[in-house]
Amino acid sequence: MAQRRIRIGIDTGGTFTDVVAFDEDSGELVTTKTPSTPSNPADGFINGIDKVLGLMGAAGDDITAVCHGTTVATNKLLEGKVEQLGFITTEGYEFMLEIARQAVPDGYGNSYFWVKPPRIVAADHVRTVGGRMDFEGNEIRPFDEESAVAAARWFKERGITTIGVCFLHSYAADDHELRMREILRAEHPEAIVSISSEVLREYREYERSMTTLVDAAVKPNVSRYVSNIHSRLEGFTGGSGREIPFYIMKSNGGVLSADEVVHQPITTVLSGPAAGALGAALIAQKAGFDKVLTCDGGGTSTDVSVVLGGEPTLTTEGTVGAYPSKIPMIDVVTVGAGGGSIAWVSPEGALKVGPHSAGADPGPLCYGKGGANPTITDAHVTLGRIPAHLLGGEIPLDVDAARTGIESLAGKLGLDFERCATGILEISAWNQANALRQVSVKRGLDVRDFMLTTFGGSGSLLACLLVDILDLAGVVVPQNPGNVSAFGLLTVDVKNDYVQTQVAKQSALDFAAIEKTFTSLTERAAAALAKEGFAAEDHQFTRTVDLRYFGQAYEVRVTAPTDVAVDESYADAVAQAFHDAHHQLYGYDFRTDPTQQVEWVNLRVTGVGPITRPELREIDAADAGDGGSVEERAQRSTRQVCFDADHGYVETGVWWRPDLRAGDTITGPAVIEEFGSTVPVHPGFTVTVDAFGNLVITKEDK
């Protein structure tokens, strides 16, 4: 039998590991799930490959590549489980982390007091070294070798083996940081070191220091995890010595070989959510929607992002947990509103939902694993919005246990059962809506023009409520929504970002210097792509520039032409794009005010190595072949479902999604079920199945 070419995408979640395999020759897509193994995520990873190969009748030798979305770095930061770190910085700047930034959560009006987040490095684990560069990269004071050696030995004596190095203005000249790393290798060879000029070659010392320290903090875990996977993958090649290409999803919307990710692990901090946003973007664009909000609902949290023209928007102002990470990442906002989010009563007697979660073990009350608190999933199952089982019947749910828990909570609040359960879901929907506003309204976008793409195991459960709250145009639910993140991993190009700070006013730009910097960044990107195995003729590059009005503290990023010489007209075009973007974000610009100068701050180049994407296939039309009406084909049963406490339970049709065809229409109330997810369709909403099998949900009065 001829060898096949199969590429596999694997997304590891808290409850399930999702797997999608793509046969590059036939175009076949196969999806499946397997339980995650939190104690050793690599076990669930390997089990997923075994399972999908079995479904395809394929062997390990048929695998051409594996792409992986991992939460190893993210979970370490979210849980705050950062081991002892060391920090080496410029003499006189030992309190950089204390000074940080003035950023009060929720604004002054809502904060009686504010305590800065915990330090990532203990105050007594900071050492300084003499020497100083200026912002242009000129050496003001020579590097102090003696204090550098003393710092290295100090950390070695105390057994601190993870160290971040950030010297003042090292984005302009990295000589001192490179020498510090050489000294650490000589004096403290077992130390794992990150230097800021390689992690983030961009100005602002606090953000660069924090990003470098976060990179150092996750390096040991990511390295161990990748090494474990690598060794386990060898078992699929039968000892032939062939190495299966293994890629990790990056936060910027690209992938990178696992060997390279070990050297820049911070790039993986939003690995899983980024893959989901990309998969949803491709599906929504194919369905004909250019303005899309994405909603990825899991067991613990929900991740939301915005997609314009088929591309998720990027930011460099992201955070992971309490830690700012100024790397390019898909603009994802996470809220603690997943299926396992716990409902509780505040000291003031108000009903609250999340951010605490029951997780997967013990999980919601209905899991029957000893959970003690009612959750969002418990509310759904007791109201009839989801069936009394998961994964098509593989996992039965204890509805009585869920009802008992919610009744107890309702008694504390003085509410009847239905008002308590629907209240839990309404609060959760508002939490998700607020997250969606952060990535849309706060970015100057009108959500009424946007479709919502929902995916993940719980992503579609509150879709109709979100349309009501935000007045959205409608909802798109892809096929196999629980596997969209894994599917997204198969759509991702290899991508690397490079940045150089080069501050100058528009009126004083040195065009030759800008061209030289762009050329240097492009050469670095090309070298990285060549190392990943891409031929020079396949390399793609994009340029962006961060600009601001002179005197502003922060910048706006705009796309710049790539294959055009940098001259006055080039600079004017970039400035006009900045004025437009500034007006969209803030409602004003100064393009006609000659006293307000534009200032260029950072130059960026992204190198892209394109891959072959799977094609989404159309499904059979409703009038194709036998099967009768949609009711005869797809309606399995009816059950009592409560969508609104005032109207109580209504008889609701239960539909089996795999039996739906393109052009089918279902009017709410309805519940549409499939193997990995459920879509409750509220009264007043209509569902139409499009050519690619997506459920397009719209409100009847819109």
Proportion of the chain above pLDDT 90, given as a percent: 57
The lowest-confidence range among 178-182, 222-226, 289-293, 449-453 is: 222-226
pLDDT, tens digit, 9 for 90 and up, residues 306-332: 998 888 888 877 777 677 788 888 888
| pTM of the predicted structure, to 2 decimals | 0.81
What confidence tier does 114 reach under pLDDT thresholds 50, 70, 90? low
Query: What's the whole-number mean pLDDT along residues 98-115?
Result: 56
The rounded percent of the chain whose pLDDT value lies above 70 is: 94
Q: In terms of pLDDT, which residue wins out, 72 or 257?
A: 257
Going by pLDDT thresholds of 50, 70 and 90, the confidence category of residue 659 is very high
Q: What is the pLDDT of residue 79?
A: 64
pLDDT of residue 245: 87
pLDDT at 474: 96
Query: What would the mean pLDDT of 373-397 be, rounded to a whole number?
Result: 88
Q: What is the DSSP string of 638-668?
A: EEEEEEETTTEEEEEEEEEGGG--BT-EEES
**pLDDT exceeds cutoff 60 at 642:** yes
Which range (47-61, 63-77, 167-181, 374-388) has the least confidence?
Answer: 63-77
6-69: CATH, from 3.40.50.300, 3.30.420.40, 3.60.10.10, 3.30.70.2860:
3.30.420.40
Per-residue confidence band for 340, with pLDDT thresholds at 50, 70 and 90: confident
Lowest mean pLDDT among 243-247, 292-296, 507-511: 243-247
Give the HSE-up count for residue 20: Cα atoms under 13 Å, Cβ half-sphere.
28
The predicted pLDDT at position 604 comes to 95
Q: Is 271-338+446-490 CATH 1.20.1530? A: no
493-609 has CATH 3.30.70 classification = no
What's the pLDDT at 196? 94
The CA distance from 34 to 47, in Å, is: 7
Residue 102: pLDDT band (50, 70, 90) is low
* Cα Rg, the chain, nearest whole Å: 26
pLDDT of residue 635: 94
Residue 125's nearest CA partner among 177, 87, 70 is: 87
Position 393 scores a pLDDT of: 67
User: What single letter denotes the amino acid at residue 577?
Assistant: A
For residue 278, the one-letter residue type is L
Alpha-carbon gap, residue 514 to 517, rounded angstroms: 5
Per-residue model confidence (pLDDT) at position 624 = 67
Of 346-350, 474-478, 540-544, the least confident: 346-350
Q: Let me know how many helices (H) and strands (E) the chain has, helices first.
A: 17, 37
Residue 107 pLDDT greater than 50, yes or no: no
**Nearest to 4, CA basis, from 32, 34, 24:** 24
**Is pLDDT above 60 for 546?**
yes
Domain ranges of the chain: 6-69, 79-222, 271-338+446-490, 493-609, 630-699
- Whether 110 shows a pLDDT value over 50: the answer reads no
Are 6-69 and 271-338+446-490 the same fold in CATH? yes
Going by CATH, does the domain composed of 79-222 fall within 3.40.50?
A: no
pLDDT at 371 over 80: yes
Tell me what pLDDT residue 592 has.
Answer: 93
Residue 345: the pLDDT is: 93
The candidate with the shortest Cα–Cα distance to 429, out of 385, 388, 478, 376, is 376
- Express each pLDDT in 490-509 by its tens digit: 888 888 889 999 999 999 99
- Provide the 10 A C-beta neighbour count for residue 485: 32
pLDDT of residue 575: 96
- Whether the per-residue pLDDT at 267 is higher than 60: the answer is yes
Structure tokens at 364: 């919601």
The helix-helix angle for 399-413 and 417-439 (nearest 10°) equals: 90
- pLDDT at residue 93, as a whole number: 92
Tokens of 309: 């023209």
SS3 418: helix
Taking the alpha carbons at both ends of the chain, their separation in whole angstroms is 55
Tell me: pLDDT of 628 over 80: no
pLDDT at 112 (0 to 100) = 44
Question: Rounded mean pLDDT of the chain?
Answer: 89
SS3 353: strand
What whole-number distance in Å separates Cα of residue 25 and Cα of residue 6? 8
pLDDT tens per residue, range 661-686: 999 999 989 999 998 789 999 999 99
pLDDT for residue 117: 62
Question: pLDDT for 411-436, tens place per residue?
Answer: 999 999 999 999 999 999 999 999 99
pLDDT at 34 exceeding the cut of 90: no
User: Mapping DSSP to helix (H, G, I), strand (E, B) and coil, where does residue 308 land?
Assistant: strand
Q: Enter the tokens of residue 387.
A: 């069936």
